[in-house]
Structure 1
Amino acid sequence: MYQRYQDAMTLVQIYEKPDIMLTMTCNPNWNEIKYQLLPGQSSQDRPDLITGIFKSKFEEFKKDIVDRGVLGKVRSYSYVIEYQKRGLPHVHMLVIFENNDKLCTPDHFDSIVRAEIPSQTEEPNLHKAVFHHMIHGPCGSINPNCPCMINGKCKKNFPKPFVEYTSRGNDSYPLYRRREGGQVSITNNDNVFIDNGWVVPYNPWLVLKYDCHINVEVCGGIKCVKYIYKYIHKGPDRVALELQNGQNSDEIQQYVDGRCICAPEALWRIFSFEFSRMYPSIIRLQLHTPNQHFVYFNPQQHVSDLLADDDNSKTMLTEFFKINCDPDLTGKYLYREFPQYYTRIKSGKKWIRRRSNNKVVGRVYVVSPTEGERFYLRILLNHVRGPTSFEDLMTVNGVTYSTFKESAQMRGLPQQDDYVKQCLEEAHSVKMSYSFRRLFVSILVFCQPTTVRELWDEFHHCMCEDYGREISSNNLIINKLLLEI
């Protein structure tokens, strides 16, 4: 799951942060489901209908968002399918727009997202759809037993405050326009009313077309982006079960991973539908020093047979070197650019020219500065075009050096701590504050940068994002951060 999260954050580095997050939930009362039920059946009795119809609805939804660009021209997207406790499927989808369609101002936010109850006289159909699908709870004093209530407070912070105009939030979601008024009764005797503070943000066109809950959120700052990417790639919920059989129980057998799979999810797996997808796809590129790559083998095989098999010496990196031996490709591609033009054939362990026009992004595995030569090998591969071998990377102006570090230094790559800044800039996109602090300390210890104060001034705010939620004073945050480091 962490690799998928890093893949997603790679797209953030290339295409900037996501613009919107969409959450679409299955409606068990869709007409397509009700028309196929037998007498006496409910939608819960037909998980095959729920699965198949939600799949078809989502494919149409994806065409509207990605192909037809109803919200804007899409440059990249990522989604994951999840299931609620009661078995209904829902999808979380992140979308990155083209530069011309970026959501930059509150006026742009209002053109896509609304958070108010529409007028029953002017928009009767939308009013009905929003009332049925886009009202939270209600919870609080109206319904203290609502599942969202924790210690007497809604964990989603409903009802939201009234505001006259949409504005940017504090490095989080925007504050959508919610004007006073728009009260609607939720009981037959008109004793309980809800207002715009209970409305979940939505897009009118999508809610009307699909007749289900579709939450649309504009992504604010980097904290929001990191949370969302980790949220959609967190994987299924798990629970540890302790099994005991009498007095003489085996401790090793006591703990097992347990997972509850509902019927619609089981059918989704049986039908081999995709649970997640990311576009452009990310190709993770192997990184290893000479003769230090992984080899998978059968324990029954003899060592001499393993060494005699040429396929065991082939890796992504060595085959990249081999392709670069072609005179027409000399000095043409960086390692991370290579997957855009060549595709990897796993069976033959080789690269072949890419025929499709699908976008692909190459990502070289992240390496800590504490790994020494492997770290400097990554620096060389990110700057040297078309290398033909490890020796070629270690050769500068006709002189072959004994280490990758010396080669990088002679090429001027680590000068003035530029490589350290690049490492920290990349890490800020993919790491949370705690991991970023550990990396900063590792760089101070093992890389011995010369401009420590400049690095601190530039990146200290990246290391204290989590402290900002606990401490209001900036001086206290910095003091606590320095103590930890």
Structure 2
Amino acid sequence: MAEQTQVHREQAGINAAAVRSAETAESTQQRLPRCRKLLFQFEVDMYAKIKTERLSFIRHNQTRLRADDYIYLHDAVADDRNANRLGNMVILPSSFTSCPRYMHERTQDAMTYVRHYCRPDLFITFTCNSKWDEISNELLPGQQSYDRHDVVARVFHLKLKQLMDYITTGAIFGAVRCHIYTIEWQKRGLPNAHILTWLWFHVPSTGSMWPAKQWFTLHERRFPIHARHPTVQHLSVHLENGQRVYFTEANLQQQLQEPRDTTLTAFFKLCTLDDFARTLLYCQLPAYYTFDASTKCWKRRVQGSSVPDHPGIYQTDALARVYTVHPNNRECFFLRIILHHVVGPVSFHHLRTVEGHVCATFHETCRRLGLLKDDAQWREALEEAATVRSPA
């Protein structure tokens, strides 16, 4: 714990030092912005230090935080095996920006929009213009736009936000159903955004898209390279006692006695208490409920459109993405199929019950439900795979 606290302090110290060093103040006569390529080298070095500290934090906590399936963890401890040897080390998580898991997760979320709303109606490329007045006015004497990447990035970010506001709120192309964009940098150093937009219907554009006069404040330092709307809730799927458990040596016994709920097991508990939840499929849940990551439970949404005949229930445009399962993992694969066809389950036992008969496997359940009479599930799997891999 002391080492972890020290890592936090060192990382916070480096982040704060980097921000303070990049300040441009009149008292220092704006020395750093005048250094040009030397400033670039300084910024790259500081960015590399920040990234290194983040990676170092993840690496140093791998030895403390481990992951394993709950059932295997329970059996291993029951056999008096050494807790230090249990579990797999956690690799670079998807929360680390631009890592392979991060990119794969964002791609899967984008395919969720395609699956729900078909192909996008608009593909828009928004590129930074180094001659924008908002950039030129901030340059010091003798400077070019490529000498001030900080100004270029901030102005681009603010203009992109205003563009998205014109597209979504202003509806210059029509009412927007959903959108997603990602930002990348060209080889010459200018940022550009690729925007996908799904429309409800088309409305002709009227007037100029940009107002006659705009005000941009250069106060934001960092901005995300990815944004989307609506939100996509990730839903786990696993067999009974097959959920992933994250544990340390200190909380091992607690995790064995009281494993934390997943989105699936929390859905079972919700269905036992909430009448409206028993009318929903697993993939329909996020539109009406939000998952509290701290308490690991589903809660009714407090905003959105009121659902007729159901007081206190609100519907939003939130989407769900149930994690994919490879067909080789047969039982979990068939469980995922059942979850897309059975409403309001309260347990795994309930999911295996068909007309009063308790099936031995989920494969048998699928056959009794008529989900395996033909090759429909294989066609759906191939179509989903084709959609995910398609560049369209």
TM-score by length of 2: 0.64
CA gap of 1:78–1:302, structure 2 versus 1, over 3 A, is closer
Matching residue's letter, 1:389: S
Aligned residue among 146, 170, 187 for 1:44: 146
C-alpha separation between the residues in 1 aligned to 2:322 and 2:239? 14
1:38: how far off?
2.7
Question: Which residue in the other structure is 1:315 paired with?
Answer: 262
Question: Which residue in the other structure is 2:197 paired with?
Answer: 95
TM-score by length of 1: 0.53
1:42: how far off?
2.3
Question: Which residue in the other structure is 1:393 paired with?
Answer: 351
Question: Which residue in the other structure is 1:72 paired with?
Answer: 174
C-alpha separation between the residues in 1 aligned to 2:197 and 2:212? 19
Question: Which residue in the other structure is 2:284 paired with?
Answer: 337
Asked if 1:306 corresponds to 2:263, the answer is no
CA gap of 1:38–1:302, structure 2 versus 1, over 3 A, is closer
C-alpha separation between the residues in 1 aligned to 2:347 and 2:278? 12
1:207: how far off?
9.2
Question: Which residue in the other structure is 2:163 paired with?
Answer: 61
Which secondary structure does the structure 1 equivalent of 2:278 belong to?
A: coil
Which secondary structure does the structure 1 equivalent of 2:112 belong to?
A: helix
Question: Which residue in the other structure is 1:292 paired with?
Answer: 242
Matching residue's letter, 2:137: Y
Question: Which residue in the other structure is 1:352 paired with?
Answer: 299
Offset from partner CA, 1:334-374 (integer Å, 9 cap, x none) = 00000111111111111111223352100111122221100
Question: Which residue in the other structure is 1:187 paired with?
Answer: none
1:36: how far off?
2.8
C-alpha separation between the residues in 2 aligned to 1:313 and 1:208? 52
Question: Which residue in the other structure is 1:282 paired with?
Answer: 232
Deviates more, 1:375-384 or 1:408-417: 408-417
Which secondary structure does the structure 2 equivalent of 1:295 belong to?
A: strand
Identity %: 38
C-alpha separation between the residues in 2 aligned to 1:313 and 1:69? 43
Offset from partner CA, 1:11-69 (integer Å, 9 cap, x none) = 11111101121111111111122223332222233333222221221111111111111
Matching residue's letter, 2:191: P
CA gap of 1:72–1:432, structure 2 versus 1, over 3 A, is closer
C-alpha separation between the residues in 2 aligned to 1:419 and 1:431? 18
CA gap of 1:326–1:86, structure 2 versus 1, over 3 A, is same
C-alpha separation between the residues in 1 aligned to 2:229 and 2:284? 16
CA gap of 1:327–1:302, structure 2 versus 1, over 3 A, is closer
C-alpha separation between the residues in 2 aligned to 1:355 and 1:322? 20
C-alpha separation between the residues in 2 aligned to 1:59 and 1:305? 46
Which secondary structure does the structure 2 equivalent of 1:415 belong to?
A: coil
Offset from partner CA, 1:211-244 (integer Å, 9 cap, x none) = xxxxxxxxxxxxxxxxxxxxxxxxxxxxxxxxxx
Question: Which residue in the other structure is 1:15 paired with?
Answer: 117
Please tell me the root mean square deviation across aligned C-alpha atoms, in Å.
Answer: 2.9
Which secondary structure does the structure 1 equivalent of 2:143 belong to?
A: coil
Structure 1 residues 113-152: aligned runs within 5 Å: none
CA gap of 1:54–1:13, structure 2 versus 1, over 3 A, is same
C-alpha separation between the residues in 1 aligned to 2:174 and 2:160? 18
Bigger Rg, structure 1 or 2: 1
Deviates more, 1:2-11 or 1:41-50: 41-50
Structure 1 residues 219-238: aligned runs within 5 Å: none
Question: Which residue in the other structure is 2:378 paired with?
Answer: 420
Question: Which residue in the other structure is 1:377 paired with?
Answer: 335
C-alpha separation between the residues in 2 aligned to 1:305 and 1:353? 29
1:417: how far off?
2.4
Matching residue's letter, 1:406: E
Offset from partner CA, 1:294-335 (integer Å, 9 cap, x none) = 11112x336434312x2x241110000000002523631100
1:9: how far off?
1.3
CA gap of 1:330–1:87, structure 2 versus 1, over 3 A, is closer
CA gap of 1:432–1:34, structure 2 versus 1, over 3 A, is closer
C-alpha separation between the residues in 1 aligned to 2:106 and 2:336? 21
CA gap of 1:82–1:22, structure 2 versus 1, over 3 A, is same
Structure 1 residues not aligned, in runs of 5+: 103-110, 113-203, 211-266, 434-464, 466-485
C-alpha separation between the residues in 2 aligned to 1:209 and 1:56? 16
CA gap of 1:284–1:330, structure 2 versus 1, over 3 A, is closer
Contact 2:166 2:209 in 1 (8 A): no
